[in-house]
Amino acid sequence: MPEILYEDEYIIAVNKPAGMLAQRDSTGRISLQETVTDYLKKKCGEDGDVYCAALNRLDRPVSGIMLLAKTSVSAGRLSEVIKERGIRKFYCTLVSPPPENTADNQWINLNQFIVRKRDRGYIADENDPGADAVSLKYRIMEISEFSALLLVELITGKRHQIRVQLSSLGIPIIGDKFYGSKEISEDGNISLHAHYLSFSHPMTHEQVTVSAPLPRYIKDRISMYPDITDYLGQ
């Protein structure tokens, strides 16, 4: 069972390892959602089904926070919060080469349009058929000659969005050969990590923050472990 980051009677947040499926697909490989479901069954000691609904999705080569609901009521309420963009989602990622425009390390807004063709996303024009508006903002936390550690706040939530948008700037995520990285990892994982979530609890309405520690393959390439709270309000 992967690391549990937060749990109460309504929701559970788990640190998904890179390389693990978020949800079941046609390959038959074990998914995080199935693993958490099994954990809940054992914890409750029930022979029947337990409720376990994934509220966000991470690509298989991406690590970090997966949020799951343990009741249908909390799932419905949190789904509405997500729909209304009431959850703040931050990712850490290593890109190479580093951005040319550092903008004094301030937040940079990136508003574009994406279309999907087969299993790949492409930057598009607003009037292209099937184009979806996407938005994120990013800032540099650490920069070196050949790479940079970015903090990304995801505003919309389209599949492969961060990967496509950063690649469009000429700064692909390290390991992401699908979107232009020249550095490939042996295990096929990429240096993108869902690091921090902040939202209002669907039942208690208290503010909840969840943080997943950076994986070693990112930590080993930076000089210091950043405190994300130093960057949120800037």
Query: What percentage of the chain carries pLDDT values higher than 90?
Result: 74
Q: List Cβ neighbours of 101 (8 Å cut-off, separation of 6 or more).
A: 108
The residue-averaged pLDDT of 130-137 equals 96
Q: Are 156 and 110 in contact (CB under 8 A)?
A: no
Sign of the torsion formed by the C-alpha atoms of 179, 18, 56 and 194 = negative
Chain-centroid distance, C-alpha 96 = 19
pLDDT at 47: 66
Determine the pLDDT at residue 124.
96
Could you give the domains of the chain? 4-232 (3.30.2350.10)
Query: Looking at residue 46, what is its pLDDT?
Result: 64
Tell me which residue has tokens 């209002």. Answer: 200
| Pick from 174, 191, 169: nearest CA to 101 | 169
Average of per-residue pLDDT across 122-133:
95
pLDDT in tens, 58-105: 999 999 999 999 999 999 999 999 888 889 999 999 999 999 876 667
> What value does the mean pLDDT of the chain take?
91
Strand 132-143, strand 63-69: pairing: unpaired
| Closest residue by Cα to residue 9 from 68, 82, 87, 89 | 68
